[in-house]
């Protein structure tokens, strides 16, 4: 069964550094998403992406964040200057463009630790 | 604003007993409703959804959920719990009028612990 994959599984970085989290969505999916989950809190939506542009973004997704589809398979989340409060589990998800059922398929997550 | 409430942080049941994990929602229109499960060190796995039609929907691993519009609830149920069902369960909602790219709004999750 096709799966969403994410790398790395764990990323440790110092405050102020840039990080790039990588995702490979399911191959025939055209909508892509990033969510995050701070330890002990809800899963929160960050951004959705379709047809090489942002479809929707939350208040969390400020100018420090950016997303990109650099090639036909990868979908990346960049945090330009990490803060301590960016420490969280980051989940990538994808869904079919033509599906009206709207379920999203999630990757295993990248745990980001900012020190 | 859309929101999801899972009133229980943890549910404890004995193996073989029925289980219920509660979820209530608030949306401006009619909802699409989802349940996801998260096992340790794994991503969220889709369990089931309510889109339209029969209020009782069946999903993976013997789970089912009942949509109750008057109570704005979508409780997850299973007639006979297994120890392997122990995991973190998330309810999620999306407004029916939304486009395919719109975010899912998640509850805070409920930890299900099934004892042998």
pLDDT, one tens digit per residue, over A50-105 is 889 998 899 999 999 999 998 878 999 999 999 999 999 999 999 987 565 668 99
Q: In terms of Cα–Cα distance, which of B72, B32, B30, B64 is closest to B50?
A: B32
CB–CB of A61/A43 below 8 Å? no
C-alpha torsion A44→A50→A52→A55, nearest 10: -60
Residues 9-68 (B) with a CB less than 8 A from some CB of A: 32, 34, 36, 41-46, 49, 51
Alpha carbons within 13 angstroms on the beta-carbon side of residue A1 total: 3
* pLDDT tens for each residue of B19-61: 999 999 998 777 889 999 998 877 899 999 998 889 999 999 9
CB–CB of B46/A103 below 8 Å? yes
Q: Identify the three-state secondary structure at position B90.
A: strand
- As a whole number of angstroms, the distance between CA B93 and CA B27 comes to 8
Residue A69: C-alpha distances to residues A80, B21, B74 (Å): 17, 37, 35
* pLDDT tens for each residue of B65-109: 999 999 999 999 999 999 999 999 999 998 766 665 578 899 999
Chain A residues whose beta carbon lies within 8 Å of the beta carbon of residue B106: 35, 42-44
pLDDT of residue B31: 85
pLDDT of residue A26: 93
* pLDDT tens for each residue of A10-56: 999 999 999 999 999 999 898 999 999 998 888 999 999 988 999 88
pLDDT of residue A81: 95
C-alpha torsion A26→A90→A40→B113, nearest 10: 30
Q: Residue B106 and residue A43: Cβ atoms within 8 Å?
A: yes
β-partners of residue B87 are: B112
Count of Cβ atoms closer than 10 Å to residue A52 Cβ: 7
Helix (H) or strand (E) holding B30: none
């Amino acid at each position: 069964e096709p799966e969403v994959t994410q790398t790395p599984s764990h990323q440790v970085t110092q405050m102020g550094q840039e990080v790039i989290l990588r995702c490979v969505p399911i191959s025939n999916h055209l909508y892509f998403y990033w969510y995050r989950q701070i330890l002990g809190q809800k899963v929160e939506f960050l951004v959705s992406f379709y047809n090489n542009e942002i479809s929707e973004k939350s208040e969390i997704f400020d100018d420090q964040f950016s997303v990109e589809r650099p090639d036909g398979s990868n979908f990346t989340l960049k945090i330009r200057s990490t803060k301590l409060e960016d420490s969280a589990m980051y989940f990538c998800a994808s869904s079919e463009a033509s599906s009206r059922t709207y379920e999203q398929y999630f990757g295993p997550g990248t745990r980001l630790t900012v020190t | 604003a859309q929101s999801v409430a899972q009133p229980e942080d943890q549910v404890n049941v004995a193996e073989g007993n029925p289980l219920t994990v509660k979820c209530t929602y608030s949306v401006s229109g009619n909802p699409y409703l989802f349940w996801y499960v998260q096992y340790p060190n794994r991503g969220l796995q889709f369990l089931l959804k309510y889109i339209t039609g029969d209020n009782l929907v069946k999903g993976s691993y013997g789970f089912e959920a009942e949509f109750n519009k008057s109570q704005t609830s979508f409780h997850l149920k299973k007639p006979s719990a297994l120890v392997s069902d122990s995991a973190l369960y998330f309810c999620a909602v999306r407004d029916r009028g939304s486009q395919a790219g719109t975010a899912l709004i998640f509850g805070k999750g409920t930890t299900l612990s099934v004892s042998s």
